[in-house]
Amino acid sequence: MTINDLDPKGLIRESYRIDGISTPECRSIFLDWALGVAQTADMQAQIGELLAFYGKDVPDHPMTTVLTEGLTAPMQSKRRGGRKARFSK
């Protein structure tokens, strides 16, 4: 898989090019990127590849921090909403 396959809209690439970008802005960009990833994809593997490609030379960049957090954060939410959450106990 190429970097263009991992980041087809260039969201992660562009975040590294924005001078003075903040961590909250990077989180927003990361969310936009993550929403475009196929549900069947190995997101942690893709994050690792993006981090290796973009983050290796800029360890203090906010997007590097966000990508690193993405590697360690749980990928499945335990939250249950709607009727099922109210009546399952």
Per-residue pLDDT reduced to its tens digit, 20-39: 999 999 999 999 999 999 88
- Measured between alpha carbons, how far is 70 from 64 in angstroms, rounded to an integer? 10
Tens digits of residue pLDDT in 39-82: 888 999 999 999 999 999 999 999 999 999 999 876 655 555 66
pTM here is 0.79
How far, CA to CA in Å, does 42 sit from each of 22, 49, 75, 88? 27, 11, 10, 30
Buried b (16+ CB within 10 A) or exposed e, 11-40: bbbebbeeeebeeeebbebbeebeeeeeee
